[in-house]
Each structure stands twice: as structure tokens, then as C-alpha cells.
Structure 1
Amino acid sequence: MRQRTASTGASRNRRRPRRWSPVRIGVMPRVRVEPSGIEFEAREGQTVAEAAFAQGYYWPVGCDFLGQCSNCAMEVISGLGRLSRMGRTERYNLLRQRGSRALEDPRLRLACQAAVFGDVVVRKSGVRPDTI
């Protein structure tokens, strides 16, 4: 049973306000690519490059999504927390291909390794509709 305080009449056992989840149920995450303005959907957990190819876009990559070439490297403009954490393979190959300075900026990611878990905006030149 709730007790009321004498001065305000407010309940001591107040419910906390409901926190709304930032995840949109039933809606797939969207990836926007600048400067081209291309936008496509990605299944949750799908990498950025895989989602681009699945939606009919060409994303520059040279190693069949193995994370070895860094041709697919992109800059994350917004939504960094909505991508998977950088794994060992991605970290090693960024270091090997781009040097230690590449690891200092968390916005530099490999599109073939970064899985999407929410809306993101990235910068990558060369992304275009696949004409082949």
C-alpha cells in the first residue's frame, strides 16, 4: 500500500518514468553515405559493405570482405556507437595498411568489418549504384 506524505500528498513509491529504447522495432537501420547522399537499409548485424552490395551499390573493396586491404575504409560521421566494436582483424589490418595513426581516430573503420546496429552516416568516395 502506498503511503502519502503529509506536506505534498505525493506517493513515496513513485514509478520511474519509462525509458524509451532508441531501437525502432520493425524498422531496419539506414546507412547514409556522403558526399554522394546515397542511402540504403542494412539488416541488423550486416556489415556496411555487405548491405551496400545487397542493395545494389558498388562499395570499393579489394579483398572479398576479409578486412585485409583497407580499400573499403570509411569515416564515420555520426552513429559511431551504432556500429560493432572494432575487432582484432580490423585493428590489425588498419595498423598494417594505414599505420599507427589510423588507430588513433575511432571514426576510421573498415566497411567490410563494421556491422550496423542502428542508423549511421559515413563518408566514403567511390560508392555508386552498381551498373554491372
Structure 2
Amino acid sequence: MATITILPSGIKLEVEPGKTLLKAVLDSGVFWPYTCGGRAQCTSCAFTLITGGERSSKISRLEQFALAQYKGRRAAAAQKVKLACQTVIDGDMVVQKNLSSF
């Protein structure tokens, strides 16, 4: 099991590795915004990776494109912004849930 800590609330979830962050959070009953059905098209599930995630899935081209549209390529990379619908969990992570509208 992997521990996911969600900031700013401090919620801690024990989840099975291999799921996307979005699926794991929703399966746990925690609200997480998303509007495109998990297809990396809306960026509403964007989050900032605080710690961990070194073994989580690498950013795909589709995710890179969506994030570049959202924040600009360099800004997204510098801030460790990822999409919950595309990030596959493979270990403990601390994530900052983005609270603003995308």
C-alpha cells in the first residue's frame, strides 16, 4: 500500500499502487475536480507534487500538452504540476490539491 497525503487538508489515504491518483482519491470518497473523464483534456485535476512520486508515472506527451496550455511548459515543469488522471501511483506521495479553477 502507498500513503497519499493531500494538502492543504492533510487527508491521508492508503491506496493500492497501480491506480491513477484521481481514481484512488475518488474511490476513497474524497472530492477531486475533473471534467473530461480522465482524458487529460481539461487540466481541472492538476496538482503540485510536493514530495515522493519519483517512481510515479512519467508525464506523457498528452499530459505535457495539456499542462503547457494551462501554465506554459516551463512553469508546469518547474512547479512539478501533474494531472491526477494521468499519474499512476507507485509509492508514497504528498500532493498539493490545486484549489483554483482551471
8 Å contact 2:23–2:85 — kept in the other structure?
yes
Instruction: Name 1:80's counterpart in structure 2.
Output: 53
Instruction: Name 1:111's counterpart in structure 2.
Output: 84
How far does the alpha carbon of each residue in 1:88-111 deviate from its partner, in whole angstroms, 9 at most, with x for none?
Answer: 111111112222233432611111
8 Å contact 1:73–1:108 — kept in the other structure?
yes
Structure with the largest fraction of strand: 2
8 Å contact 1:34–1:125 — kept in the other structure?
no
Return the offset for 1:80: 2.8
Q: Tell me, yes or no, if structure 1 residue 66 matches structure 2 residue 36.
A: no
Q: In 1, distance between residues paired with 2:32 and 2:93?
A: 16
Aligned pair count reads 99
Task: Give the letter for the 1:87 counterpart.
Answer: S
Question: What are structure 2's unaligned runs of at least 5 residues?
Answer: none
Higher relative contact order (CA 8 A, sep 6+): 2
Instruction: Name 1:123's counterpart in structure 2.
Output: 96
Larger radius of gyration: 1
Return the offset for 1:125: 4.4
Q: Tell me, yes or no, if structure 1 residue 29 matches structure 2 residue 2.
A: yes
8 Å contact 2:17–2:90 — kept in the other structure?
yes
SS of 2:49 mapped into structure 1: strand
Instruction: Name 1:15's counterpart in structure 2.
Output: none
- TM-score using structure 2 length: 0.87
SS of 1:60 mapped into structure 2: coil
- TM-score using structure 1 length: 0.69
Alignment of 1:44-59 (within 5 A): 44-59=17-32
How far does the alpha carbon of each residue in 1:64-120 deviate from its partner, in whole angstroms, 9 at most, with x for none?
Answer: 111111111111110030311111111111112222233432611111101100000
Question: What are structure 1's unaligned runs of at least 5 residues?
Answer: 1-27, 127-132
RMSD: 1.5
